[in-house]
Amino acid sequence: MYRQQQQQPRTETRLQTPLQILPAMLHAVFIQTADVFNTPARQQPGAVMYTNAQVRASIPICNERFQYALDQLEMEILTAKAALRRDLTALRTAAQAREEARLAAERARLEEQRRREAEIAARKEAEERARREKERKEEEERKRRQEAEERERERARRAEEEALAAKRIAASQNAGTVALGGAAGYNPHYGQVDDDKEKENPAPLPPGSANASSPSPGGAAAAGATASGGSGGDSFHDFMASVAAGGYIDGGQPMHFMDDFLGEFGDSMFTGT
Confidence of residue 169 (pLDDT cuts 50, 70, 90): confident
| Average pLDDT of the segment spanning 179-183 | 53
Model pLDDT for residues 110-157, shown as the tens digit of each residue: 999 999 999 999 999 999 999 999 999 999 999 999 999 999 999 999
Q: What's residue 231's pLDDT?
A: 46
Give dist(CA 46, CA 56) in Å, integer: 22
Q: What's residue 70's pLDDT?
A: 81
pLDDT over 50 at 210, yes or no? no
CB proximity list for 24: less than 8 A, separation 6 or greater: 15
Neighbours of 65 (CB within 10 A): 18
Q: What's residue 190's pLDDT?
A: 46
So where are the chain's domains? 3-102, 184-198+218-269
pLDDT over 90 at 204, yes or no? no
Model pLDDT for residues 59-83, shown as the tens digit of each residue: 777 778 778 878 888 888 898 899 9
Q: Average pLDDT, whole number, for the chain? A: 69
| Average pLDDT of the segment spanning 36-40 | 58
| Average pLDDT of the segment spanning 15-36 | 64
Q: Is the dihedral of CA 53, 59, 60, 61 positive or negative?
A: positive
Which residue has better confidence, 216 or 112?
112
Give dist(CA 71, CA 49) in Å, integer: 31
| Average pLDDT of the segment spanning 43-48 | 53
Q: Is the dihedral of CA 223, 224, 226, 227 positive or negative?
A: positive
CA 154 to chain centre: 35
Q: What's residue 21's pLDDT?
A: 64
According to DSSP H, which parts of 37-51 are helical? none
Model pLDDT for residues 235-272, shown as the tens digit of each residue: 566 666 555 555 444 545 445 545 555 555 555 555 55
Which residue has better confidence, 7 or 95?
95
pLDDT over 90 at 54, yes or no? no
